[in-house]
Amino acid sequence: METSQTPLQWLSVPNRSGMNDRLAMRVRAGKGQPVLWLGGFRSDMDSTKAGAIDAWAEREGRPFIRFDYSAHGLTGGDFAEMTLSVWLEDALAVWASLGDAKPVIVGSSMGGWITLLAVRERARLGLLPPSALILIAPAVDFSEELMWSAFPEFIKNEILTKGAFYQPSPYGEPYPITRAFIEDGRKHLLFGAPIEPHAPVHIVQGMKDDAVPWGHAMKLVEHLPLSDCKLTLIKDGDHRLSREEDIDVVLQALDVLGP
């Protein structure tokens, strides 16, 4: 079945000044608890996995919400000014727009970290939790664990002295990793204490992932001691997990956790 494209909508982020305050999003109507997509670092809401989940939602008659973080995709903003705090605020604004719904949240890569941070913040505020979490190659604490700790000294020095290092990318122009981004990330680190997701968790991780090693997913599992947590390792899966067989694993998780 061919999927019908949902129209572009715009969501205002309240109380934001001096920065982009409108998020591009697509909302598919349906019945039941919605599915909310939180994408990865420098990804967008029209990625292969998000599109596949949208097709699933159309088949199942389920609501599906996806959006672009500030300075991603169709949402405006200067990427060099972005921090995790900005993107977390974006995610919380979209979640708040769902009212009293308890979404199934699918967080991919950086979106996995933001998912857990958003759950923690809503719990702190006494707001409703999600109904389930599906985390795809979750890059928890990646700015510190997978970037800063892995950088050679010349990159660290450039970030500290010049304020940014421009990381080459196989997908386009080099992008800035700023001192502000690294320092802001340290405010949001989760490893080192138990993480309470307030919902069942299914982690899907490729074992040939060269961006978020599968041992990182194991570390996350160790930090979820009290949760209902399932880990699926895909032996030949890379970081993108965008092959049909990879996406089928995610859709199967939605079938189990999504009703």
Euclidean distance between CA atoms 36 and 135, whole angstroms = 12
Strand partners, 222: none
Q: Tell me: the pLDDT tens digits for 10-62?
A: 999 988 877 778 999 999 999 999 999 999 999 999 999 999 999 999 999 99
Does residue 219 have a pLDDT over 60?
yes
In a domain, 58, yes or no: yes
User: Considering the domain boundaries, does residue 62 fall inside one?
Assistant: yes
Q: Is residue 212 part of a domain?
A: yes
The domain in which residue 219 lies consists of: 8-140+190-257
Task: Find the distance separating the first CA and the last CA of the chain, reported in whole Å.
Answer: 21
Does any domain span residue 184? Answer: no
Domain count, the chain: 1
Helix 244-257, helix 48-60: angle, nearest 10: 40
| CATH code at position 252 | 3.40.50.1820
Asked whether residue 208 is assigned to any structural domain, the reply reads yes
Q: What's the per-residue H, E or C state across the chain?
A: CCCCCCCEEEEECCCCCCCCCEEEEEEECCCCCCEEEECCCCCCCCCHHHHHHHHHHHHHCCCEEEECCCCCCCCCCCHHHCCHHHHHHHHHHHHHCCCCCCCEEEEECHHHHHHHHHHHHHHHCCCCCCCEEEEECCCCCHHHHHHHHHCCHHHHHHHHHHCEEEEEECCEEEEEEEHHHHHHHHHHCCCCCCCCCCCCEEEEEECCCCCCCHHHHHHHHHCCCCCCEEEEEECCCCCCCCCHHHHHHHHHHHHHHCC
Confidence of residue 226 (pLDDT cuts 50, 70, 90): confident
Tell me whether residue 157 is in a domain.
Answer: no
Does 151 map to a domain?
Answer: no
Q: Around 165, how many Cα atoms within 13 Å sit in the side-chain half-sphere?
A: 18
Which pLDDT score is estimated for 3?
A: 59
Give the model's pLDDT for residue 17: 72
pLDDT of 1 reads 41
Cβ(117)–Cβ(188) under 8 Å? yes
The 10s digit of each residue's pLDDT in 50-60 is 999 999 999 99
Residue 182 resides in a domain: no
Per-residue pLDDT at 259:
67
